[in-house]
Amino acid sequence: MIPWLQNPSDSFPPIEQALDDPNGLLAAGGDLSPERLISAYRAGIFPWYSPGEPILWWSPDPRCVLIPDQIHISRSMRKRLKKKDYTVVFNRNFAQVIDACSAPRRGEDGTWITNEMKDAYCNLHKKGLAHSVEVYIDDELVGGLYGLAIGKLFFGESMFSKVKDASKIAFIKMVEQLEKWGYALVDCQVSNDHLFSLGATEINRREFQLYLDQYLDEIGQTHWQFGLPADQME
C-alpha cells in the first residue's frame, strides 16, 4: 500500500519508500497546487497519472538524467543544426507547447497531460518556475519541450515534434544554454532510446538525491526571458 495524501498539509513520504513494482510509485492523492508541485520536485518526485485516476506521485530508481556537458550530438544532427532554417525561442508560448505535448502520440489513444495538469504548469510558468523551449520554422511552432528550473537543476516534463528532429533541436539548444548558465543536471525522469541517443544516462536514487541536496538551493540563472530567441540569451 502507498500513502494517500488527503490534506494540503500532508507531506510526501521519503522517496526511499517508493515501490519497486511499479517502479517509483510513492503516493496518491493530494493536489496540483504550486506549493505541492514545488515540494514534490524539490524532493525528487513528480506527478504522472491517466485521466480518471487519482493523482499519482513517482520517484523511480534508477533515474534518467543528462549532465549538460555530456550531451551527445550525432554527425547527422550536427548537419541538421547547421541548416539554421529554424528559430529556437524560450518562453514565447508556454500554453501552446503544453497543448502540443498533450496531443496523443502515434498509436496512442489518450494522454497523461490532463487539463488539470496544463493549468497547474501554466500557473508555475506565471510564477517563473516552468519554462518552454520552442522551435519555429516559418513562424510555425513545430517542436518543443517544457519543464521546471529550480536552483541549478532542470526537471524536464515532456516534448513534442511535428517535424523530424524538432524536439531534438529544442533539447540540444536548451542543454547548451543550461551549460552556459552552470546548471548541474537535467532530470529526464524515465529513460527511453530518444533520450539515450542524446547522451542521457541512468543514476541510482541515492546519487540523484545528492544532486538535489547540492544544487536545489544554488542560485540559478534568472535570465529565462519570455519570448527571447536562444541565440540572444545571456
CATH architecture of 4-60: 2-Layer Sandwich (3.30)
Write the pLDDT tens digit of every residue in 157-209: 999 999 999 999 999 999 999 999 999 999 999 999 989 999 999 999 999 99
Question: In CATH terms, are 4-60 and 64-232 the same topology?
Answer: no
Segments making up each domain of the chain, as ranges: 4-60, 64-232
> For all residues of the chain together, what is the average pLDDT?
93
- Cell 539554421 found at: 84
b vs e for 152-181, b when ≥16 Cβ sit within 10 Å of the residue's Cβ? bbbbbbbbbbeeebbbbbbbbbbbbbbbeb
pLDDT on residue 228: 62
What is the per-residue pLDDT across 56-100, written as a single tens digit (0 to 9) for each?
999 999 999 999 999 999 999 999 999 989 999 999 999 999 999
| CATH architecture, domain 64-232 | 3-Layer(aba) Sandwich (3.40)
What sign does the CA torsion over 209, 186, 219, 39 have? negative
HSE value, Cβ hemisphere, 13 Å, CA-based, for 176: 17
Per the rule left: phi > 0, alpha: psi between -120 and 50, beta: everything else, 162 is alpha
Share of residues in the chain with pLDDT > 70 (%) = 93
CA–CA gap between residue 14 and residue 36 (Å, rounded): 15
Instruction: Enumerate the H helices of the chain as residue ranges.
Output: 34-42, 75-83, 94-102, 115-126, 166-180, 193-197, 205-215
pTM beyond 0.75: the answer is yes
Using CA atoms, how far apart are residues 12 and 43, in angstroms rounded to an integer? 8
